[in-house]
Amino acid sequence: MASVLLSSSGSGRYITKAAKAIRLARHGCTNRPFFHIVVMMKGRNQHEQPIEQLGSFDPMPNNYGEQLVSFNFERIQYWIGQGCEISTPAAELLGLCGFLPVHPHSYMTAWRNRRLKQQEKNPSVEPKDQ
**Residue 38 is part of a domain; what is its CATH number?**
3.30.1320.10
pLDDT digits (tens, 9 = 90+) for 98-112: 999 999 999 999 999
Counted residue by residue, the chain has a size of 130
58 found inside a domain: yes
Task: Tell me if 108 is assigned to some domain.
Answer: no
Query: Is 130 inside any structural domain?
Result: no
- Confidence (pLDDT) at 8: 45
pTM of the model: 0.77
Whole-number Å distance between alpha carbons of 13 and 100: 28
Task: For the chain, give the mean pLDDT.
Answer: 86
Asked whether the beta carbons of 12 and 4 are under 8 A apart, the reply is: yes
Q: Would you say residue 57 lies in a domain?
A: yes
Task: Examine residue 74 and state whether it is found in any structural domain, yes or no.
Answer: yes
User: How many domains does the structure of the chain reveal?
Assistant: 1
Q: Does some domain include residue 125?
A: no
| Residue 41, domain extent | 2-86
In tens, the pLDDT along 51-67 reads 999 999 999 999 999 99
pLDDT at 129: 65
Look at residue 43 and tell me if it is in a domain. yes
Question: Is position 77 within any domain?
Answer: yes
Q: What is the pLDDT along the chain (130 residues), one digit of tens a residue?
A: 455 444 445 665 677 788 899 999 999 899 999 999 999 988 888 778 899 999 999 999 999 999 999 999 999 999 999 999 999 999 999 999 999 999 999 999 999 999 999 999 887 766 566 6
Contact present, 26 and 35 (Cβ < 8 Å): yes
